[in-house]
Amino acid sequence: MSKIILTLDEASGRDHAGGKGYALARLRQAGFPVPPGFVVTAAALDENEGEMLPSLAAAICDAYRALGKGAVAVRSSALAEDGDAASFAGQYETFLNVAGCDALLTAVRRCWVSLRNERGLAYRRHLGRDESVPAMAVVVQRMVPAAQSGVAFTLDPVSGQGDVVIVEAVAGTGESLVSGQVAPDRYIVRREDAPLEIAGGLLDEERLSAVVNLARQVEAWAAQPQDVEWALDEAGQVYLLQARPITVVPTRNQAFQKKPGFYWTRD
């Protein structure tokens, strides 16, 4: 592959892959179940001056075909995002279930355009960051055929309580959860030594345990509390879609709102 296209198994360095791409590459290279994919590096935007030149389009399509030509997720990955001090979640574009080379190229262009949107610039002003437009990479990953998906917090981001893992789940992909269109099932899994009790909901004991164990493994690897996006397929295989440090109290469209839920206890 060319230097402007790197697989997640190859990518190293935020300067090339952006915040999200670098984080996903590190997680995949550490052995976590991150779906395969590639990064259109920040150099692609710089060297092509924001244009989708034929040589770049061909390289992207070659990388897409190498993934198997199925549906993919296309995510913006600005060099400034998802650091330890602030989360840029939701500030730039993400496209799910993108199928075909033409649709993929369109999604990549739209990610580039989102770099200059007012939402992202306003967030940078709010953080006191340089308002100049940062560089942008784009992450392309094979879509997970999700039966359930959601988020998991390895501490309560409202109270700061650290002896729980909070899991929110919806049927299918997490798009409806992040957008706030669907109220998720919510589970509070306590770390205390007590028997596991189920109170209904989308996730049975085995599936909830898979999500909680993944979240705790990511937390242990990162050595700090994590906000984890996950998906489960029909067979119960859990996938890690994204993980970032818990830096701020999430808003509703960041998939968390304090409300009654299902309470579980486990070892």
In the prediction, which pLDDT does 161 show? 79
In the prediction, which pLDDT does 120 show? 53
pLDDT per position as a tens digit, 166-213: 999 999 987 666 666 778 899 988 876 544 555 558 999 899 999 999
In the prediction, which pLDDT does 7 show? 95
Would you state the torsion angle of the CA atoms of residues 114, 76, 244, 218, taken in this order, to the nearest 10 degrees? 170
Low-confidence residues of the chain, pLDDT below 70?
Answer: 1-2, 46-50, 80-91, 116-134, 175-180, 192-200, 247-267
What pTM was estimated for this model as a whole? 0.81
CATH number of 148-265: 3.30.470.20
In the prediction, which pLDDT does 169 show? 94
In the prediction, which pLDDT does 12 show? 84
In the prediction, which pLDDT does 45 show? 74
Architecture of domain 5-142: 2-Layer Sandwich (3.30)
Give CB contacts under 8 A, 24+ apart, made by 251-259.
Answer: 252/180, 253/90, 253/178, 253/179, 253/180, 254/87, 254/89, 254/90, 254/178, 255/150, 255/151, 255/168, 255/174, 255/177, 255/178, 255/184, 256/151, 256/153, 256/157, 256/158, 256/166, 256/168, 258/158, 259/186
Q: Are domains 5-142 and 148-265 of this chain identical in fold?
A: no
Q: Which helix (H) or strand (E) holds 15?
A: helix 14-29
Instruction: State whether residue 180 is helix, strand or coil.
Output: coil
**So where are the chain's domains?**
5-142, 148-265
pLDDT per position as a tens digit, 196-205: 555 558 999 8
